[in-house]
Amino acid sequence: MEAADLLVRCTFPPPGTAVDCAVSGGPDSLALLVLAVEADLTVTAWHVDHGLRPGSNEEGARVAAVAASLGAAAVSVTAVVDDGPNLEERAREARLGALPDGVLTGHTADDQAETVLLNLLRGSGVHGAAGIGDPGRRPLLDLRRSETLALCDARGLDPLDDPMNADPRFVRNRIRHEVLPLLAEVSDRDPVPLLARHARHAGEAVALLDGLVEGVDPTDARKLARLTPELARLALRGWLTGLLDGRPPDAAAVDRVLDVAGGLGRATEVAGGLRIERSKGRLRPVPEGGRDDGGR
């Protein structure tokens, strides 16, 4: 597997651009690191240690060694997350807080397919059907997971094996290991390209829909009240998706925020620790556990 064969299907910025890459040490993120260097970018690899398993503090050193061998810089940060309920979501939020803005990730077409199904199960609507948000930060979305593995093998890299990727507690893992193989068996074809193409089409529809509320301030409760409920939900969904780093909220969360905008409640939880409150006629996000005592 040659890097040049894969680069033509990647969406990296122009040569010479300084980029940050999230590198866990798995095959996808190692392939991201290799390909970013091959694309003549100035690369810094970022590794986040959640402290969830023995020896995890040593994985950052392994990532740094690979980065150094490729001529890239490396930064290792710690964002400890305790095991327990909502582990996947809490780990994700911890990573987002530890990684720099605009960091590139190694999501592939397989991740895209999983995300489409996961979002559909969460009731995230058309925005969710578009899959992973902000494709500019996911330059490997047209590659397959098998190709990132093959690239690592060709380069003599030994990817880390994260046991969390096989833990059946996480819905994504069951989609990966149970649902997608079953879909392939039932349809007698690989569902990943179909779901990835569906995500692209849904993304085009989302762009058209978002144009209907362009210029609308979704934090202004009075202006939201002048819109039809459908347009108000559309404006809120786009705003909340941005606050959730590209992850569309479910329909119930959007409806709860619309109720807050309409004065039917003071505040509501959305997802991932995001809380929306209404104060003096405006909606605003507040930190988890925070509270606004201003008037409506």
The DSSP annotation for 168-186 comes to TTSHHHHIIIIIHHHHHHH
Report pLDDT for 2: 84
Average per-residue pLDDT for the chain:
89
Bridge partners, residue 22, by sequence: 46
How many angstroms separate the CA atoms of 22 and 106, rounded? Answer: 8
The pLDDT value recorded for residue 52 is 62
State the helix-helix crossing angle for 251-261 and 229-243, rounded to 10 degrees.
Answer: 110
State mean pLDDT over 270-291. 83
Q: How many CB atoms lie within 10 A of CB 163?
A: 8
Res. 296 pLDDT band, cuts 50 70 90: very low
Residue labelled with tokens 């989609």: 175
> pLDDT band at residue 231, thresholds of 50, 70 and 90?
very high
Q: Which domains does the chain have, with CATH numbers?
A: 3-104+139-166 (3.40.50.620), 213-286 (3.30.465)
Neighbours of 206 (CB within 10 A): 22
Per-residue pLDDT at 295 exceeds 50: no
| pTM for the model | 0.85
Reply yes or no on whether the pLDDT at 294 is more than 50. Answer: no
Question: Looking at the predicted structure, is the pLDDT value of residue 53 above 80?
Answer: no
**pLDDT for residue 292:** 45
Asked if pLDDT for residue 51 goes beyond 70, the answer is no
Q: Tell me: pLDDT of 129 over 90.
A: yes
Residue 101 has pLDDT above 70, yes or no: yes
Question: In the prediction, which pLDDT does 7 show?
Answer: 96
Give 2-18 pLDDT, tens digit per residue: 888 999 999 999 999 99
Q: Tell me the longest C-alpha to C-alpha distance in the chain.
A: 62
pLDDT of residue 46: 94
- pLDDT level of residue 80 (50, 70, 90 thresholds): low
| Least confidently predicted of 22-31, 56-65, 177-186, 234-243 | 56-65
What is the C-alpha separation between 280 and 296, in angstroms, rounded? 4
Residue 108 has pLDDT above 80, yes or no: yes
